[in-house]
Structure 1
Amino acid sequence: MRHPTLHAKHTCLYRSCTPGGIGHALAMEFHNKGLHVIATARNTAVLTEMGALGMSTVALDVTKADSIKTCHEEVAAITGGKLDILVNNAGRTHTHPATDIDMDDVRETFETNVFGVMAMCQAFADQLIAAKGLIINIASLAATTPYVFGSVYCATKGAVVSYSRTLRLELKPFGVRVMITMTGTVQSQIASKTHRTLPANSIYQRVKELFETRLTFSQNNGTVKTEDYARQLVAKALTFESPLLLRAWIGRPDWFWAGGWAKVIWLGTCLGEWVLDFGFYRKFNLGRLEQVLKEEAAQKKLV
């Protein structure tokens, strides 16, 4: 069993460390590389197996300030006040057309995907500065793509990207690095809940089957194994520090693109907005909706 020391490397994974998810895979990979992992979850019962492997387990609900404060104190006791790596990997899916969203539901998604990241970075800044550590914020290709029926999720990941870019500069004088992961389709638990349905009055009821296909898109399109994604990310996180001008090619990158579709989307962002608009419109078959609307208009003329 590994025990932490003041000179050991540590990584704190915030939430979503249940088996089958990205957080769990990252925790296992960091652990296998010899780092002492501090795994967190709302219910620490799901972390029993990880604790048995020698990882520290701490309760954490990123939507509650008191929980974050208690977690901060417990982590400080484990690390001696120095945290080398903070991984913000929690995520909540949100698949609904923009015209069908419920604002309370939207707020809950932002609470987990955005405000939780901000709160954790703020709370652990002192320990990260003390260690001249690394923050890894798990974003998504959704931040840069018109991911149909995912406007809220895209907005949260876009917010994480913008926040992280600014955070990188603000913490640079203190020796803290910020890595943003542009994650593509990866096997995870995020799409395991497919209970979302279209409202009865939705303008997309005409093509309900397209919405239902979209619910599990990330798990059925070029999806990369969670373990493979974790190995790539951890390898990059633990590699050497390179000069700013070289980070896109060697050493620890500021931007980490991996998972299904990552290379395609990266290329699309280079070629222009029209490429992504054209590609996603066709991929999600919105031309089918156009055809249905034309048929409805034709029928009205006949009446």
Structure 2
Amino acid sequence: MGPKPGQKTALITGCTPGGIGHAICLAFHTKGVHVIATARNPAVLTEMAALGMTTLTLDVTKEESIKACHEEVAGITGGKLDFLVNNAGRTHTHPATDLSIPDVRETFETNVFGVMAMCAAFSDQLIAAKGLIINIASLAAITPYVFGSAYCATKGAVTAYSRTLRLELKPFGVRVMVAMTGTVRSQIASKTHRTLPENSIYQRVKDVFERRLTFSQNNATVGTDEYARKLVAKALAPEWPLVLRSWFGRPDWFWAGGWAGKAWFSTWLGEWVLDVVMYRMIGMKHLERVLREEERQKKLA
């Protein structure tokens, strides 16, 4: 089932149930937008198809998959796309000194290169509709999220890319919104499959690392439904002049999720604030104590 005449359309990536993308699909659908939900495994989208959404296969790391999706969407929408939500993402929690570069490349393929590829591929349809791109970034882009250096780097790249993309597409009437997402309930962030290498310098505080794996699910975490409702409300808001966008219209920067307000406020105080908070919150002071005790034992030996 395709969109009705005059009905706005939204393409969302990474829509597996239980995640942010799935909630965004439902929020747009509730507001009368025709949703095109995508996932690498379309079988997980059966319930959304039953609600009347279009469901397509899409792997944002594969050029041929993006091209096929582009052609299918063009046929469904008549070559116009009102909203592109780049939500597909990959978590990555490992100390910087333990990173596997091939593993890091996979994270960049999804979190950064996938976003770039989708924006480039669908630019024609977005221009035709004078649409809106929403890139789901994270507070990790501005926060020293201990043991998350690779993930922070990808989200920092997305924010920098989006700022420039915003200016390049402005003459064509296409807007770019960056979602600075705080702690939000998510299946992907609840997975604890990563482990420390046996020779890691952080084995001495393995418990700190293991708690960090699910930090985003246990600290001021906001439900996906609440987050998605706020995001979609802003996406559907009318246009306002630049200075007033953040309060009344579609903002360039959307801050929501746990810790979002505090992180935004800290940007006015200086980066030292977040450095101090994250250092203590994750447990690095405990590591200091462990190292001091090790030094003491060495001197006594």
SS where residue 183 of structure 2 aligns?
coil
How many residue pairs were aligned? 301
Aligned to 1:9: 8
Alignment of 1:133-172 (within 5 A): 133-172=131-170
After TM superposition, the structure 1 stretch with the greater mean CA deviation from structure 2, 186-195 or 130-139, is 186-195
SS where residue 268 of structure 2 aligns?
helix
What one-letter code is carried by the residue in structure 2 that aligns with 1:150? G
Alignment of 1:94-133 (within 5 A): 94-133=92-131
2:60–2:117 CA contact under 8 A, matched in 1: yes
Residue by residue over 1:214-238, the C-alpha shift from the partner in whole angstroms, topping out at 9 and shown as x without a partner, is 0000001000011000100000100
1:6–1:79 CA contact under 8 A, matched in 2: no
Of residues 215, 218, 222, the one that matches 2:216 is: 218
SS where residue 114 of structure 1 aligns?
helix
Aligned to 2:33: 35
After TM superposition, the structure 1 stretch with the greater mean CA deviation from structure 2, 281-290 or 126-135, is 281-290
Provide the C-alpha distance between the structure 2 equivalents of 1:56 and 1:273, rounded to a whole number of angstroms: 43
2:2–2:77 CA contact under 8 A, matched in 1: no
SS where residue 18 of structure 2 aligns?
coil
1:136–1:181 CA contact under 8 A, matched in 2: yes
Alignment gaps of 5+ in structure 2: none
Residue by residue over 1:57-104, the C-alpha shift from the partner in whole angstroms, topping out at 9 and shown as x without a partner, is 111111111110000000000000000000000111000000000011
Provide the C-alpha distance between the structure 1 equivalents of 2:50 and 2:165, rounded to a whole number of angstroms: 35
Aligned to 1:183: 181
Provide the C-alpha distance between the structure 2 equivalents of 1:193 and 1:213, rounded to a whole number of angstroms: 12
Aligned to 1:78: 76
1:242–1:250 CA contact under 8 A, matched in 2: yes
SS where residue 191 of structure 1 aligns?
helix
What one-letter code is carried by the residue in structure 2 that aligns with 1:145? T
TM-score by length of structure 2 reads: 0.98
1:190 Cα offset (Å):
2.0
1:19 Cα offset (Å):
1.3
SS where residue 135 of structure 2 aligns?
strand
SS where residue 188 of structure 2 aligns?
coil
Alignment gaps of 5+ in structure 1: none
Provide the C-alpha distance between the structure 1 equivalents of 2:6 and 2:79, rounded to a whole number of angstroms: 11
SS where residue 37 of structure 1 aligns?
strand
1:248 Cα offset (Å):
2.3
Poorly superposed stretches of 4+, deviation over 4 Å:
none
1:6 Cα offset (Å):
5.0
Provide the C-alpha distance between the structure 2 equivalents of 1:260 and 1:243, rounded to a whole number of angstroms: 28
Q: Calculate the aligned-residue CA RMSD, in Å.
A: 0.9
Aligned-residue identity in percent: 75
Provide the C-alpha distance between the structure 2 equivalents of 1:249 and 1:28, rounded to a whole number of angstroms: 24
SS where residue 255 of structure 2 aligns?
strand
1:7 Cα offset (Å):
2.4
1:300 Cα offset (Å):
1.2
Provide the C-alpha distance between the structure 2 equivalents of 1:192 and 1:212, rounded to a whole number of angstroms: 12
Provide the C-alpha distance between the structure 2 equivalents of 1:78 and 1:273, rounded to a whole number of angstroms: 46
1:39–1:47 CA contact under 8 A, matched in 2: yes
1:5 Cα offset (Å):
3.6
